[in-house]
Each structure stands twice: as structure tokens, then as C-alpha cells.
Structure 1
């Protein structure tokens, strides 16, 4: 049984909070102060028509651009409970993919504030489920379904891949910090979604880039965040990193970049991001 098919009373018990089953006003119509600690959830909330109720976000909340004007509560493990509570939120939303520390979550829960952690799965189905579950919680199911239909239409347009290529994602913060993405990461799932392969399959999560592993993987395409590619002085700078120029990607200068949240958010724009990546790696 899916989460959306559960009776409302069971849904509320699962998430550990209580709501009135038939309120005069829906959550979306009430004035609530929301802090979002997830760029993906922030984007969904805006799509649900709740942007005016968002009073603070983390630094991954970059879309739409209007969110940039809101107070920032930090990034990943740098997020503090004090920074969030200073905004006096009624609801704090995050996902199980967030790197917010368990200690901060414990602090927030101890205040009596509503802290809602949504499950996020890096797949098309997982993204659709996430949008629907956020819509259910905020009593905005019609708006959620509108986003779902738009996403499904985008995904249906993804081209078929005749000859899968080996893609390798490099996380860069200057040439001194270079990490590669292994299995079960959002990048790995995105490569699979567009019909290509991750060039590394012998580990999960991220590991430091080494010349030996890079040559062994020999990717056809290197993928970076736009900010990461800039941090190594563009394609020419990346080609100066040991062994990069000896890979198929380096020899052919097949290096592509995209905005980080857009590429890995697995939110309402997933279909568009996948289509753009597929076009760039052709």
C-alpha cells in the first residue's frame, strides 16, 4: 500500500504529528511560518503555492531565484538549531537525504516545533512520491498533482539511448579537493535515468580522485557542477589535473557542467534536468 493510499489518520501517526481531519481552513490557506532545509523541498513548496509562508531556507534552496532573498540557515552539517529557531518557524521541513546532524534534529525536536522529515528516493517514482507526500501534508494535493503531471510529461520526452557511455562525476572545490561519485548517489541514479553508465562501480558514495582510478575508469564524459568546473579554471584547468587528459573524456574534451541543485535535486524539474544532461553528453 502506498503512503498516499493510507487513511489520513494513519498518515499523521506515521509522521508523528496531529492535524484536524476536517479543518475549516487547509494548511495551504493558513498562515504558517516554514523553514525548509532542502532545496528540493523548497522548490516543491513554491510549486504548492506556499512561497509566501517560507521564512528561511538552506543554501541549496536556489530555485526559484526569489528564494535567494530569504534568510539562510546554513548548509548541511553547518546548520544550527539556533539559526533555525531564530526565525520562529511553525514547521521545519527536511529530507532523509539531508546531511543535517542528528544532534541538530534532536535539538529541534526538543523544542516542540513540528519537524517533518520526508523520505527522498533518487528516482522518477521517488520524486513523484515525494511531491505527492508534501502535497498531502500541506493540504495542497491539486497543486501537487499539477507538478506531477508536468514532471511525467517531461520524463516521457527523454530520448532513448542507443549507445550508453561511461560517465564520471567529479566534485571539485579547486584542484585540491576532487572527489568522484560512486554507486547509489544522486549522480549515479541520474546517469541511469538517461540511459548511460557510471564509470565507477566498485564503491558507493564519494571517494577522492586518484590518477590510477581515473585511468582505470576511463570515462567517455566527465560531469561537474558549474561551480566546480569554475573552481578548477574551466575545461583547460581540469585537463591539467593528472591523468585527466589521458582518458577518453580528456582526449575528446568531453566535459560538461550543470547547476548542482538542478542536476541532483530530483525535484519537480527532474525531467528537464535529465533531458539537458542527456543532450550535453551526446
Structure 2
């Protein structure tokens, strides 16, 4: 094949990839990717593209090797300047990532490619997210491997004899205690295990009160591992007004798990639901 024909073929491939929605910066070097989502960072690693991550946010904790990659901060307090300084080819985040619109405008205005992926808190949503990212980065076979593993893990979740009422408490010390309502990632994860949220009637998060605890009367309390540590463990949590008077408190049924695993709704969704189900039962 002549050099001219080779160049023409390369240009044609480049245009086909662009038209298919796949971003390609150059055939000469790998992309530099900044991920502002722990779930997307995990997917990127699963696609075999970890070496192309130029920066990640602080929710990007899995796999552990991500700790060596420069951090751009928490999505709620990220600055455009810190991301731009890493000279990325593409910046990725999900529509569930709470980045200030002004920061998005700055990034877009800088000429950088900024891509938002839709994330839905469901099995179908997790599968679609993995496939969408795989398609965008032209790594469809690797994405399908992750999907197959996710579905295999979900199929192993045991069905409870009777659904239990679970209450997720977000804790940052006893001064900051919130409960998770309907529609949140925790609420959807509870349903995947065959159990249910102990609270209803509101979405998002609300402050925890002794009255709301007694009304909900959960069978199991669920916390991030870091959250439980912040209240001095199970003994400290049981001292919070109202906790000891619930079924969960009386039976000391307190479950703690890694925060990103519980809320990620990505490749490890099946593992998260399976681990939670096993700890509950």
C-alpha cells in the first residue's frame, strides 16, 4: 500500500470514529483523560485505559492504583483551572456529578472536549453506562466483559425470606447525620437486594431526628465505613438519640461498607448488592 493510500485510509478511519461519536485526539499518542466521577474512573480502568488517566476526582478510589494519579478535588468544589493545567484531551463526568455549571462553561470555553454520560441508578442504567463509555472510547469488547461480570454477580444475590426495612445514615460526626430518601442510589440498591427503604415520602436526604427514627423503625442501619468511624463506631452510633429504640438498635444490626462501592452503580454494582445482602442476612 502506498504512503498516500495509507494516509487516506487513516483519515477515513478517523472520520468514521468521529461520526460514530467516538472521540479520538490523535493516532500518534494516547488520549489524556480527566475523570470527575469515581464510577467513570472505574469503568475507564476496566476498559484497560487507566494509563491514559491524567487526573481523577477524590471519589475515584477503585482500583487502589488510582491513588497515584493527580487529584482534581471533589466534584462539588472542583476548579476549571486545576483540570486545564493537566492538559487533558477529554474531560468526562456523569449527569449525577455535582459540578457547578460555571465550571463546565469554563472547561468548554477553554477548548477542551467535555463529555457528560447519563447515569441512572438501576441495573439497566449501570449496563448502559458501561456500554456508552466503552463505545465512546472504542473499547466495546472490554465493556461487554464488565457487563457480563456485573450480571453474573447480580444473579447470585439471595432472595430474603421477608424484606427488611433498611435505613441509610450519612454521617460526618454526630453533628452531621442525614437519612437517605426515595430515588437515591442507596434506595435503589436496597431494592436490588430484595429489601426496602425504611423511609418514604421524601427524596434526596433529610436531617436525622429521633422522631423520624422512631417512625421509620428500621431493621438494619447502613452506613459508609468512613461514616461509622466518624461517630466512633457502633457504640458511638447507639448513643445517638433514638437509635437504640429502633429494631436495628435493639438488635445491634449495623452494616458498614465502602462508600464508592455502595453508591457507584457501575461495574461493581452486583458485588455491592451481593455484599450488602450477605451482611443483612
The two structures have a TM-score, normalised by structure 1, of 0.91
Alignment of 1:7-86 (within 5 A): 20-21=15-16, 27=24, 30-86=29-85
Equivalent position of 1:186 in the other structure: 185
Q: Which residue of 1 aligns with 2:133?
A: 134
- Does the CA contact (< 8 Å) of 2:17 and 2:24 recur in 1? no
CA contact (8 A) 1:60 1:75 kept: yes
Which residue of the partner structure matches residue 227 of structure 2?
228
CA displacement at 1:20 relative to structure 2 = 2.0
Deviations 1:201-220 (A, max 9, x none): 01000010011001100000
Judge which range, 158-167 or 113-122, deviates more.
158-167
1:141–1:215: structure 2 CA closer, same or farther, 3 Å change rule?
Answer: same
**Residue deviations 1:89-123, cap 9 Å, x none?**
00000000001111111111111111000000011
- Measured in 1, the distance between the counterparts of 2:36 and 2:47 equals 17
CA contact (8 A) 1:169 1:223 kept: yes
Between 105-114 and 37-46, the greater mean CA deviation after superposition: 105-114
Q: Which position in structure 1 is the counterpart of 2:124? A: 125
The aligned counterpart of 1:144 is 143
Does residue 154 of the first structure (1) align with residue 149 of the second (2)? no
Distance across 2 between alignment mates of 1:260 and 1:70: 20
CA contact (8 A) 1:27 1:139 kept: no
SS of corresponding position for 1:20? helix
Corresponding residue for residue 219 of structure 1: 218
Structure 2: gaps (5+ residues) = 1-13
Report the 3-state secondary structure (helix = DSSP H, G, I; strand = E; otherwise coil) of the residue aligned with 2:273.
helix
Runs of at least 4 residues off by over 3 Å: 25-30
Indicate if the aligned counterparts of 1:94 and 1:116 stay in contact, CA closer than 8 A.
yes
Gaps of 5+ in 1: 1-18
| Aligned partner of residue 256 in structure 1, secondary structure | strand
What secondary structure is seen at the aligned counterpart in 2 of 1:128? helix
Shift of 1:156: 1.1
- Structure 2 length as normaliser, TM-score? 0.91
How many residue pairs match? The answer is 263
Native 8 Å contact 1:80 1:104 kept in 2: yes
| Counterpart in the other structure of 2:105 | 106
CA distance in 1, matches of 2:143, 2:52: 17
Tell me how large the CA RMSD over aligned residues is.
1.5
Q: Distance in 1 between matches of 2:256 and 2:17?
A: 48
Q: How does 1:163-182 map to 2 (within 5 A)?
A: 163-182=162-181
Which digits, 9 at most, give the CA deviation of each residue in 1:60-114, with x for residues without a partner? 0000000011111011211110111110100000000001111111111111111
CA contact (8 A) 1:168 1:181 kept: yes
What are the Cα deviations for residues 97-151 of structure 1, in whole angstroms up to 9, with x where unaligned?
0011111111111111110000000111100000000000000001001111111
**Residue 27 (structure 1) shift:** 4.7
The aligned residue for residue 8 of structure 1 is none
Deviation, 1:161, is: 2.0
